[in-house]
């Protein structure tokens, strides 16, 4: 796939963002960390996002866009399909695969700590760079994109999501376990932690795009924790990333993040940008 074939995706994203709409959606501000809020039953969320990585040691800068289709099957079950790609400076571009995600909330009522079970099947290749999660250890590969895209893998990923709402704040912790089904490898581990809150209190009741309650700010930290055959933090990647989300309307959200690599194995920066639009297409609760 050539780089210019990815340009229509970014054009659609830009045109949608500048389309005027009235003003507060529930899309989380995080890019990696999950909280306990699921998609409403019968609602479809369409999202476009991209991760731009700035590696160390003269490894080319890359941009990895992805499309998300998230649907609320029931009040306790949300499913999501991902399609992803990558383009690297002077290395071309590639389609890197798809992911099928499911989140289950076992407890219906709000608790001090709300658990969610996450299971995802991935059919991707080694050129994948969207980095929805970081597990295991070692830096990203410096091999050319066209070579990495020929190495296909199938993986199964599980997360334990713990999330709390505390006086307007959201505090979420995710523990990640991933298994490569295509190779005789051990289990890889990772984590993410996020804290966020709206900048304002209750909605004012007027149509306002720039009211403080329409903005959510926070920070998330995420990284790898080694693998079952070598459970160590040596040569693992870790990032600290401020995040911000802007609810342009009750259905549309844009968000951004700047991640800073904390170890020598990490990229210097991970810049992320996303847009999401939610629409009812089925019967509600």
Domain ranges of the chain: 3-279
Rounded to whole angstroms, the Cα distance separating 83 from 48 reads 10
Q: What is the pLDDT of residues 9-68, one digit of tens each?
A: 444 434 433 343 333 345 789 999 999 999 999 999 999 999 999 999 889 999 999 999
Cβ contacts of 155 within 8 Å, gap of 6 or more? 121, 122, 124, 178, 179, 180, 181, 182
Sequence-ordered strand ranges (E) for the chain = 43-54, 62-72, 77-88, 92-104, 114-125, 152-166, 169-180, 187-198, 215-227, 238-247, 252-261, 269-280
φ and ψ at residue 237, rounded to 5 degrees: -105, 135
- Look at residue 21 in the predicted model and tell me its pLDDT: 35
Cβ contacts of 142 within 8 Å, gap of 6 or more? 55, 57, 59
- Look at residue 193 in the predicted model and tell me its pLDDT: 98
pLDDT band for 229, please (50, 70, 90 cuts): confident
| Residue 123, burial from CB neighbour count under 10 angstroms (0-12, 13-18, 19+) | middle
Rounded to whole angstroms, the Cα distance separating 145 from 127 reads 6
Token pair for 237: 């990647």
CATH match of 3-279 with 2.40.160.40: yes
Owner of token pair 């693998």: 227
Q: What is the pLDDT of residues 177-211, one digit of tens each?
A: 999 998 888 999 999 999 999 998 765 566 788 89
**Do 251 and 279 contact (CB within 8 A), yes or no?**
yes
Cβ contacts of 153 within 8 Å, gap of 6 or more? 122, 124, 125, 126, 180, 181, 182, 183
Q: How confident is the prediction for the chain on average, in pLDDT?
A: 89
Give 273's DSSP letter. Answer: E
Q: Identify which has the larger pLDDT, 282 or 52.
A: 52
Residue 166, pLDDT above cutoff 60: yes
3-class DSSP state for residue 136? strand
Rounded to whole angstroms, the Cα distance separating 277 from 270 reads 23
């Amino acid at each position: 796939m050539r780089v210019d074939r990815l340009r229509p995706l970014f054009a659609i994203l830009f045109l949608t963002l500048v389309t005027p709409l009235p003003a507060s959606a529930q899309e989380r501000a995080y890019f990696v960390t999950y909280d306990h809020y699921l998609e409403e039953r019968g609602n479809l969320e369409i999202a476009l996002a991209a991760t731009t990585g700035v590696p160390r040691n003269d490894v080319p800068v890359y941009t990895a866009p992805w499309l998300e289709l998230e649907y609320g099957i029931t009040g306790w079950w949300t499913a999501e399909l991902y399609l992803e790609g990558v383009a690297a400076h002077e290395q071309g571009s590639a389609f890197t695969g798809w992911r099928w995600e499911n989140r289950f909330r076992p407890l219906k009522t709000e608790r001090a700590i709300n658990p969610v079970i996450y299971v995802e099947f991935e059919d991707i290749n080694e050129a994948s760079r969207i980095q929805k999660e970081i597990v295991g250890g070692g830096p990203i590969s410096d091999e050319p994109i066209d070579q990495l895209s020929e190495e296909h893998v199938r993986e199964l990923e599980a997360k334990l999501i713990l999330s709390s709402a505390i006086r307007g704040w959201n505090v979420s912790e995710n523990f990640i376990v991933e298994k490569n089904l295509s190779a005789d490898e051990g289990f890889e581990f990772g984590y993410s932690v996020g804290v966020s809150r709206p900048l304002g209190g209750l909605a004012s009741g007027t149509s306002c795009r720039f009211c403080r309650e329409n903005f959510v700010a926070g920070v998330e930290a995420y990284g790898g924790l080694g693998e079952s055959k070598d459970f160590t933090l040596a040569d693992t990647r870790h990032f600290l990333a401020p995040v911000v989300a802007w609810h342009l309307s009750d259905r549309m959200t844009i968000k951004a993040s700047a991640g800073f690599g904390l170890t020598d194995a990490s990229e210097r920066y991970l810049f992320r940008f996303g847009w999401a639009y939610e629409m009812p297409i089925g019967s509600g609760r």
